[in-house]
Structure formats: C-alpha cells, structure tokens
Structure 1
Amino acid sequence: MDLTVFSGTANRPLGEALARELERSLGKCHIERFPDGELHVELQEDVRGRTVCLIQSTVPPVGENLLELLMMADACWRGGAARLMAVLPYFGYARQDRRATPGEALGGKLVADLLERGHFERLVAVNLHTPSLEGCFAMPLEHLDAAHLLAEAARPHAGPGAVVVSPDLGAVKLAERYARQWGLPLAIVHKRRTSGSEVNVRGLVGEVRGLRPIIVDDLISTAGTIAATAEAVLEAGSADDITVVATHALLVGPAVERLSQVPVRRLISSDSVVPRTGLPFHHEVVSLAPLIADAIRRVTGERR
C-alpha cells in the first residue's frame, strides 16, 4: 500500500511516533502563518495516487488546528491523493453533541460537517467524549479505545486497598470497565456543573474510607471535575494517595493549580495532547501510536 503520513503542528511528536510505527518517514509539509494571520500550507512531496493519512489533534487553539487540518487535506486532494484519512487523537467539540437551550449552536455536528468537506474517506478518533457523536459523520469512523492501555499502565497502583472513582454519572460505564479489569470496588460522585469550569459535588455513592482513590475519566480540561471529586473522597476519609487516569490531559486554565492543591500524586494519560512539562506531580504518558497504527493497517489492508 502506498501510504504517506503527514502531521499537523498540534501534536507533531505523536505524528512522528505514528510514522515510525508504520515504518514510514513523516511526509514533508510546510506550514506557516502570514503576517496578517492567514495560514499557508504547501506539500513538499508528491501524493498523486497515494493513500494519505493526516494526523492532527484539535486542541487549543481548536479553530486554528481544525483549519490547518482542512487546508492540509485540501492540498492533498488537489495534489491527486487517491484516499484521505484523518486521525484525530483528540477531537475538539465532542462535548457539544446536544443543545441545552434553543439558542445554542450544535458545535459537534458543525465540525463533523466541516470534516466532510475535507474529502476524507475515513476518520480515526480516540475516546470521543460522546460516542453517539459518531452518528454526525457522513464517512466511516474508527472509534478507538485507549482504556486498556491506560489500565495496564495504572495497574501497579491498582492493587488491594484501592478504589475506582467515577467523577460523575457520565463516566460510570468507563469506571465500571476499569473496576472490572482491576478487580476493585467502585464509588460514584454525583456532581452538578455550575459553569464551564466549575462544579459542585452533591453526593458520593460507595465506600472510600481508608482506600486509595483512582479517579478515571476520558478527559481533563480545567480539572474542575477532578478536583471536586478528589476533595469529596478526601472528606469521606479516603487515603491521600490519589491517582488520576484520563485519556486526554488538556490541562488548560487553572487545571495544574487545582490538581496540585488537592493534591494529586500522579496522573496517567495518553499522548493525544502534547504532555505539559514541569508538573508538580508525576505524569506517566502512554503512547497512542501503536493503537492508531493498528487501526490504519486494518482499514488499508497493510501488513506489518
């Protein structure tokens, strides 16, 4: 299979790791911004007749990174690529899958429509915040699950005396999977969101007293939910050895300060987002490159 891999600027280290996993050299693409802010994308190698994989996480600034992906796709399409595949290790706007009020925009569906205009034949995404978002895409979606990779990485901290904690009702199914895989009890926090970055805990179901909490979620943005959950289990008498496991560690705004004040001892996440440096707690990063590479081989029919 004639496969070329290009990476956007949002997470080039993961793009390079994916290319190595696929035993390819990362495709050469010049991306720059003009003085007036316009983006300029130019391929520096021939893609005519080739299958092209574009990897780009739509992390902040989300709009800029999304536009960069679409312009790379346009350059490949106009360059004669036979097939285009988009890999979005982190998919922004996945939380905007429904409208709470009549005046809201449906961001998730809008972004799905924009990606359709990118001439992509197939999308690959990792742990969408809302799996039902798959119904918004006109093209096939390979929805990958990194939970088993993170569970293995966290296993040394998931021995006797630990408890899995779901930070809200939306994460219960994910937490149940971790609890079954580790053979641990489960506790559930009931929260109420008061704003985009603030939450209030309204209750805790399950026993955490004297146990080491492992808080699991699909993503950490401003860490309001994780911090409130940690405070709730500590108030309920848990041990202060707190582990957080999350697929996507955005850690934006006050996130690091909130997690350091709780305190969190360790964070285990994937590299869907470029890991932040200088964190006041241990951060173990699990690579998604093998998981994504396997999915690409399956859909392209390429063998190792």
Structure 2
Amino acid sequence: MVMVMVVMGETATPAHAEPAAAGSLEADGNDEVLTSKFTYYSGRTLADPSKTMIFSGNGNVPLAEDIAKYLGVSLGNMNVSSFADGECSIKVNENIRGKHVILVQSTCPPSVNDSLMELLLMISTMRRSSAKTITVVMPYCGYARSDMKRGRERSPIAARDIMTMIETMGADRLVCVDMHSGQMQGFLSPAVPSDNITAIKVGALYFAEKMVNVPDSASEDAPRRNVVVVAPDEKAVSRAKEFWNVLIEKGVPEARFAMVLRKPNLEEQERKEQPQSAAAVSATSVDTDPSTALEHEIVGDEEAIADCDAIIVQDIIDSGQSMSNAASALKAGGARNVYGFATHGLFSRDALERIDRAPLDHVVVSNTASHPIGYEDKPTDKITWISIAPLLAEVLRIISEKESLNPVFRLPKEQQ
C-alpha cells in the first residue's frame, strides 16, 4: 500500500469551535472545543509571515493546520509518502532557502516508528535545502517514558536516543507539550534550546469554566460543588497539583487534593519477574477485573471523597487502565461523579472500550495526538477533545518574534 499526503492550504482565519455549555463537559457535537476565553493566545499573527513556513508530517495534520491558521499562514506544500516496501519518502514542493521552518509532528500511534522516521527525514530535508532555522514541534513525543534504565534491565534509554537523533539531523529548537519527565530537556545539548509547554493549565481552565465553577443548583446562594483533584499514582502528583492550583486560583478555593495508591501485590510482582510469552503479556495488559478498586487505596481526606466530583489528572491515557482503576477506587469511596483529564489521549488497543466500561462520567484530553483507529467509525460521547492549537501558535509566535515565553509558563489574566 502506497500512502501519499500532500499538505497545502490557504491562509485563513481559524473557525473557533463553540465551547460546551456551562455546567456540562459535553462537546455538543464539536470535534474539538476551546476554553471560552483565550488565556494564552494574544490573537496576534506572525509579524512577517513571508519569513516563516510551517510543514506537517502524518502524525497530527489537523493540529498543524489549526496552528498555521492561528498564525495567519498556510501549511507548506510537501509530499510525505511511503513506498510499497514501507520506506518513507519526503518531497518539499516549495523553495525554503533562508526560511524559518517549523515542523509539526506528533510521534504517536497508530505508527510511532513511522512518524519518528518521517520527522527525522523532514529535518534532514529542510537542512539540506538550506533552511535558515528549523524548529521542531512535537506535541506528543513517543518513547518519552523510556527516560531511564529500570533496575537491572539491559535496555536503552530511548528518550535520550531520540533526542540525539533529532539534534544530529539538524534541528535548531524543540517544542514539546508535557514531556513525560522534565529531564528530557537535558538530553539535548545547549546548542538546541527546548521548551516544555504544559497543557495542564488549559485543561484546568476548561474544567473551571464548564463544570466545577457552577453551583449544584440555579440559586446563587447554593453551595459550590465538592471538588477533589486526584493523582492516579505517585508519579502524577506534580501535574495534578498544578491542575489543583489553577482551580483554586480561578474561583474554586474549596477544591481538595487526593492520591490513589496501588497496594503491593507480591504474587503479581513475582509473576512480572518471570519470563512471559508475547501472548501472555498481551492478555495481561488488556485484562480488566471489576475488583481492581479493592487493590487501591485513596490517600487524603476520606470524608472529602464522599459525594464529591473527582477529577483524575495524568499526562497520558494509553491503555486506560490506570485511570479506570483510580475511577473504580473513587466510586468505591463514595464519589458522586468521576471525571478525567490527560494531556495526551493515545487510547491504544481496547482503551476506548475500557474507558466506556469504567465508572468515569467524562474524560477530557487535548489534541496532541491524532484520534485512535476506529474512533471516527465509533465515536464515544464520553470523551471531549480540547484544542491546544491557540497555545502552540502563541508559543511559536513568541519564539519567532524573539519575545519572552514567561507569560506561557505562568497563569496570566485572561484575555478576550
């Protein structure tokens, strides 16, 4: 099978999707939604669009198109194709000599390795075509979870190797969104600056506007919802706390914090240490046990969990198991509603079915990764995709105009 993609568009003003109604997390039929106010997007386009060109691989074309529209430019004309044997082919159909080139590519499923090879060859192509600078935008960075050696394993530090390849190909700057660990920025040399942009604040603002900042009844004197922000494991605490701080600052001062810890299971640990066949590993990864809530313990104010609206916050939903287990534990603890937020919604394998079966009322993810295979044919009302195109467009404009990125890393006053 030969796949060819030609990316070429006209300059246009972005059509802003209408946000969900207050008090609801439903997307009202929109594919992607936005916060009701642009907190990070100034509305300014590039000062001199003729000096900058934006190209996209196959990783996440819709997001790249939206970023280009917010910047007031069109996507560059480029063919990204694969031959019958699977080899990747890149052909740029425009003159890029002396241009500031921006490459947008998420190395995400369904083909992480193909997306990565596309990115590396795109960087090489731009460098060999005399681009003045090359800025790589990776909304989702594959292999980011392989950022250290685990115990006594003989394994690569794949995240470090990926950064080495990107730098070696000739990238001048890297922009990522919620890297799995901040230490990845140190995997690049000082010659290649990197920016780790967070979508956590965008998600928290969306929740504050649409659900948690609304009373339980129409009366203005009615008490606010009992909101608890939950980290599904100890690794998610810092991101969940950032989400929690935004809610408190944006009108939900009574929001509380909790964490879900998995109880040690010696039998399971021994099983993991034993060699397993590929079939056994696959079966284990997709197994769902209704009693998993009993294996987890909520750390925090137990009274706050009762009759609360819990919001589980993590960086990635891959198999969906971690969020499903946390939701089960919260429901068992008496939570009224359980919601989820993640920056990267990968939804690998049967994750969509797992999320549908889980006691989750709604899940919100940003559009850093493309929609999973099968989602278009069988979409679920349980998931809302929130666009980070305005945020990334503002970051790229700031970099292009050589301004400070400080406003993006803090919570500024909202802009209309």
Instruction: Tell me the TM-score range normalised by the shorter chain.
Output: over 0.9
**Alignment equivalent of 1:215, drawn from 308, 312, 337:** 312
Determine if contact 1:154/1:245 at 8 Å carries over to the other structure.
no
Distance (whole Å) between structure 2 residues aligned to residue 145 and residue 38 of structure 1: 34
Note the 1:8-27 alignment, pairs <5 A. 8-27=57-76
Structure 2 counterpart of 1:49, one-letter code = G
CA deviation after TM superposition for structure 1 residue 301, in Å: 1.3
Determine if contact 2:98/2:130 at 8 Å carries over to the other structure.
yes
CA deviation after TM superposition for structure 1 residue 77, in Å: 1.0
Listed one character per residue, the Cα deviations across residues 187-238 of structure 1 (whole Å, up to 9, x for unaligned) are 1001369678479644211221211211111110001100110111111121
Structure 2 counterpart of 1:143, one-letter code = N
Distance (whole Å) between structure 1 residues aligned to residue 78 and residue 143 of structure 2: 26
Structure 1 counterpart of 2:360, one-letter code = V
Determine if contact 1:243/1:264 at 8 Å carries over to the other structure.
yes
* TM-score w.r.t. length of structure 1: 0.94
Residue matched to 1:232: 329
Determine if contact 1:260/1:281 at 8 Å carries over to the other structure.
no
Does the alignment pair 1:254 with 2:350? yes
Does the alignment pair 1:132 with 2:183? yes
**Alignment equivalent of 1:283, drawn from 373, 379, 383:** 383
Distance (whole Å) between structure 1 residues aligned to residue 234 and residue 182 of structure 2: 15
Distance (whole Å) between structure 1 residues aligned to residue 79 and residue 59 of structure 2: 14
Aligned length in residues: 302
Distance (whole Å) between structure 2 residues aligned to residue 256 and residue 102 of structure 1: 31
**Alignment equivalent of 1:173, drawn from 205, 215, 238:** 238
Residue matched to 2:154: 103
Distance (whole Å) between structure 2 residues aligned to residue 142 and residue 280 of structure 1: 33
Note the 1:1-304 alignment, pairs <5 A. 1=48, 2-60=51-109, 61-100=111-150, 101-138=152-189, 139-155=192-208, 156-159=210-213, 160-182=225-247, 183=253, 184-191=255-262, 197=285, 201-206=295-300, 207=302, 208-239=305-336, 241-275=337-371, 276-277=375-376, 278-301=378-401
Distance (whole Å) between structure 2 residues aligned to residue 46 and residue 133 of structure 1: 33
Distance (whole Å) between structure 2 residues aligned to residue 118 and residue 271 of structure 1: 27
CA deviation after TM superposition for structure 1 residue 7, in Å: 0.5
CA deviation after TM superposition for structure 1 residue 109, in Å: 0.6
Q: RMSD of the TM alignment (CA)? A: 1.9
* TM-score w.r.t. length of structure 2: 0.69
Distance (whole Å) between structure 2 residues aligned to residue 164 and residue 281 of structure 1: 22
Secondary structure at the counterpart of residue 97 of structure 2: coil
* Higher CA-based Rg: 2
More strand by share: 1
Structure 2 counterpart of 1:288, one-letter code = I
> Larger RCO: Structure 1 or Structure 2 (Cα < 8 Å, ≥ 6 residues apart)?
2
Listed one character per residue, the Cα deviations across residues 20-39 of structure 1 (whole Å, up to 9, x for unaligned) are 11111100101111111111
CA deviation after TM superposition for structure 1 residue 134, in Å: 1.0
Structure 1: runs of 5 or more not aligned: none
Determine if contact 1:153/1:268 at 8 Å carries over to the other structure.
no
Stretch moving more, 83-92 or 270-279: 270-279
Distance (whole Å) between structure 2 residues aligned to residue 108 and residue 43 of structure 1: 28
CA deviation after TM superposition for structure 1 residue 302, in Å: 6.6
CA deviation after TM superposition for structure 1 residue 149, in Å: 1.0
Determine if contact 2:319/2:347 at 8 Å carries over to the other structure.
yes
Determine if contact 2:56/2:75 at 8 Å carries over to the other structure.
yes
Distance (whole Å) between structure 2 residues aligned to residue 255 and residue 36 of structure 1: 30
CA deviation after TM superposition for structure 1 residue 162, in Å: 2.2
Determine if contact 1:256/1:279 at 8 Å carries over to the other structure.
no
Listed one character per residue, the Cα deviations across residues 272-303 of structure 1 (whole Å, up to 9, x for unaligned) are 01234433333222212111112112222179
CA deviation after TM superposition for structure 1 residue 177, in Å: 2.0
Distance (whole Å) between structure 2 residues aligned to residue 12 and residue 110 of structure 1: 25
CA deviation after TM superposition for structure 1 residue 55, in Å: 0.3
Secondary structure at the counterpart of residue 117 of structure 1: helix
Determine if contact 2:71/2:393 at 8 Å carries over to the other structure.
yes
Distance (whole Å) between structure 1 residues aligned to residue 137 and residue 385 of structure 2: 19
Listed one character per residue, the Cα deviations across residues 30-83 of structure 1 (whole Å, up to 9, x for unaligned) are 111111111111001000010100000010211110100111111111111011
Secondary structure at the counterpart of residue 248 of structure 1: strand
Instruction: State percent identity of aligned pairs.
Output: 29
Listed one character per residue, the Cα deviations across residues 104-151 of structure 1 (whole Å, up to 9, x for unaligned) are 111111111111122000000000111111111122101101111111
Distance (whole Å) between structure 1 residues aligned to residue 333 and residue 359 of structure 2: 15
Distance (whole Å) between structure 2 residues aligned to residue 105 and residue 3 of structure 1: 36
